Amino acid sequence: MMSDLSLEPGPQEAGAVCDCCGARSTTVHGFVYRGGDAFAVYYAGWSQQHPERGVTIAIATGEWAEDSRPEDRTSIGLEARSTRTEIQFSVVGPRQSPWGETSLFGKMLSRERAMASPSLKLTFEVAELIVRADPRVRAGLGAS
């Protein structure tokens, strides 16, 4: 784990209404810094009514300067699930993510491209930090 990564939680929003139960999902986002510089932005979403679905996470790493563009970043989608002993992550493609293409992140990598990306290892490190340091995401996973 990179010790020079730090997290700043951003706002929490009410997400979409679930088609099957009518409950609202929860969406949060936040910022990750590396050595004090902007490094990654994340979105995470879940429904308390469907804990079996875990938490969907989108992480974009790369350039965040004022003149940077979405093409300067790499966006990878993950699903996180809590077991009795650990948090398990799996890579998902843009069709499995509510953030498959956004104006901030750009187009998310396909699962195949993400699995081969040099950014994947760092994305997992950021995901572990999110689960550890954002209490909202931990609560969404039912983790203590």
Q: What is d(CA 61, CA 40) in angstroms, rounded to the nearest whole number?
A: 4
- pLDDT for 107 beyond 60: yes
Share of the chain above pLDDT 70, in %: 93
pTM of the model: 0.90
Q: Where are the domains of the chain?
A: 5-141
Q: Are 93 and 108 in contact (CB under 8 A)?
A: yes
